[in-house]
Amino acid sequence: MRAAVYHGPRDIRIEDIAEPEPGPGQVLIEVARNGICGSDLHTYIGSSTGGASMHVPGVVLGHEFAGIVRELGPGVDDVAVGAAVAIAPIEYCGECWPCAHAWPHMCRKLALYGGYRRPLHGGLAPLVAVSRRSVFMLPDGLDPIVGSLTEPLAVAVHAVRRAPTTLGATAMVLGAGPIGLGVLQALRAAGVTTTIVTDLSAARRDAAARVGATAVVDPSVDDPKTVVRDLTRHGVDLVFDTTAAHAAFAQGIAALRPRGTMVSVAGWQEPARVDMGRAMVAEIDIRFSMTYEPAVDFPATIAMLANGDFDADVMISDHVPLERLVDNGLEELLHHADRHVKILIDPS
């Protein structure tokens, strides 16, 4: 079968590999779609920090995927062949301190399908074998193409759960990319009354407006703090940073009310510069959100997708065949990210 194999920075090859067979405790998935993540871009260009520096050469990339169960490995008897499923692409030891507290996303030996830390093939291929515990059923009527949004949207759902309160709250979201739009929609579903979204891209601001943002702001033209104060008087209760940009983070701190909460869900590639004095005088809380707790966030996200809490039409900006992954997927996002929200790769 044809697959996207990682050989090093800017060296991803669409080549022939053997079709996988499910081992004990595994499920064979026919991949419907695999989304391109920001971390995939860091891996592609050769970032020297974080997960991008820990991918195993020779492994099929891809960790945002869903599809159809095609075969069961020995010991798996609670999944139906033909079922539509989404995949939580993490492997964990189950024994370390975070795992013992049901936080496998912080496992000391964490690995991801797609070659992060271990040679686990990912979803940028027609077929992939995954552990049974990574498989989450999609309800009848939920297309697995839409189900491929589960993984990135679970990141957003987890970030919103990291906030101290949402019902009746006001919030600002820094950045209207896939995670920012996911956070915005999850906030609305969780009872936030007023949402302000900032982004430099007109297309992404338009997407935020289409999924219900109260106000959208171009921070290069208008001061987000002024817009926030006009709408809330004292500042917002919550800010979610999805940008990993120093200027945006500072704007978020300035927009918070006293004792407001900043939730950082951005993939920072360098140490952040934070005005600690400003945060201190307002007694700001700063929290961090790291991916998701699969057992909690995946079922919640799937239910929200099925209920229409997330607008898949806005989230999905293009479908690209596997053979065009580099030119029409990775390179397109590197140079024209402002034109897209989520590009899905069709590996069939």
Q: What pLDDT, on a 0 to 100 scale, did the predictor assign at position 52? A: 57
The SS3 of residue 72 is: strand
Count the neighbouring beta carbons within 10 Å of the beta carbon of residue 92: 20
pLDDT score recorded for residue 51: 57
Q: Are 327 and 164 in contact (CB under 8 A)?
A: no
DSSP annotation string for 224-285? HHHHHHHHHSS-EEEEEE-S--HHHHHHHHHHEEEEEEEEE----SSPPP--HHHHHHTT-E
What pLDDT is recorded for position 53? 61
What domains can be seen in the chain, in order of their start residue?
A: 2-153+292-346 (3.90.180.10), 163-288 (3.40.50.720)
Burial label for 338, CB within 10 Å (0-12, 13-18, 19+), is middle
> Tell me: the pLDDT tens digits for 100-131?
999 999 999 999 999 888 999 999 999 999 99
* pLDDT digit string, tens, across residues 261-312: 999 999 888 888 999 999 999 999 999 999 999 999 999 999 999 999 999 9
What is the average pLDDT value for the chain, to the nearest integer?
95
Q: Quick: pLDDT tens for 18-69.
A: 999 999 999 999 999 999 998 898 889 887 665 556 789 999 999 999 999 9
Specify whether the CB–CB gap between 134 and 88 falls below 8 A: yes
> pTM of this prediction?
0.96
Residue whose C-alpha is closest to residue 38's, from 347, 346, 334: 334
How many Cα atoms occupy the beta-carbon half-sphere of 129 within 13 Å?
15
User: Do the beta carbons of residue 87 and residue 29 sit within 8 Å?
Assistant: yes
Nearest to 148 by CA among 328, 332, 327, 319: 319
